[in-house]
Amino acid sequence: MTVLPLASAPADLRATPDFSAQVRRGFGRQAGSYEHHARLQQAVAWRLGRLCRTLPLAAGPCADLGAGSGLLSRALVQHWPALAGRSPLQLDQCPELLARNPLGPGLLWDLNNGLPQPLERAALLVSSFALQWLDAPAPQLRHWAEQLRPGGWLVLALPTSGSFPQWHQAAARAGVACTGLGLPAAQPLLAAAAAGGVTLARQQVLRFSRPRQGGLATLRHLRQLGASASRQPPLPPGKLRRLLAHWPAGTPLTWEVLLLLGRKD
């Protein structure tokens, strides 16, 4: 797989270097075992592949934004006949994940900086479990929608603000900060896609649970995924013990995931 050099980005969309680098390092450290732990991400990729299997696809660039190891693109290529011979360009800021992505070529790219010039008037932009890591998810999503050509498709999945209620409740009971990543709400994202000219063909907010996952197992699972970056400092040991003591034992960890499928007017 070829990893292309970083290109110039639109000047009106800027990254926060420290947090962006923290995200990159987290996934880089766990790249070798990412897919072993990414069961939910694999399931969502498979679902999106099935949803897209009968869609028409116009000529033009196709890209997977925040592609990582290529879970979503592989599911789409497997299920969607219109993508035969048109593997989406794989964009990600983590070179360790791109190196494990069997689809090529790959572009090393920080999506906080918008989309690269070759994706103007794209026929297809897909993304799964990536948009939530950006500094401004809703404005970036509108930018993606605006880059599509008429008739182009936007296919998206990401966890949203209703995720991890057990974590938030435990933090409130313990009187400590919830240090998980702040996730965007679904409704502003839907509005952003519409403002970018995309008509939604399908929108779903799904809930998934990992059974009997307590506080320590939850934090360990996110670390094993490489998904432990946060804009808040970690809890000191005493507060962490208090958080875990208030975490409801034996309750499932709940993810709220937005699925969006839309076409540019």
pLDDT per residue rounded down to tens, the chain (265 residues): 443 433 434 444 444 568 999 999 999 999 999 999 999 999 999 999 999 999 999 999 999 999 999 999 999 999 999 998 889 999 999 999 999 999 977 999 999 999 999 999 999 999 999 999 999 999 999 999 999 999 999 999 999 999 999 999 999 999 999 999 999 999 999 999 999 999 999 999 999 987 767 888 889 989 999 999 999 999 999 999 999 999 988 788 899 999 999 999 8
Q: In what order do the strands lie in the sheet with 89-92?
A: 3-4, 106-108, 89-92, 62-65, 122-128, 148-159, 253-264, 198-210
Q: List, in order of start, the domains of the chain with CATH numbers.
A: 16-264 (3.40.50.150)
The pLDDT assigned to 11 comes to: 43
The pLDDT assigned to 6 comes to: 37
Angle formed at CA 123 by CA 137 and CA 4, multiple of 5 degrees: 70
In angstroms, rounded to a whole number, what is the distance separating the alpha carbons of residues 91 and 140? 15
In angstroms, rounded to a whole number, what is the distance separating the alpha carbons of residues 123 and 214? 43
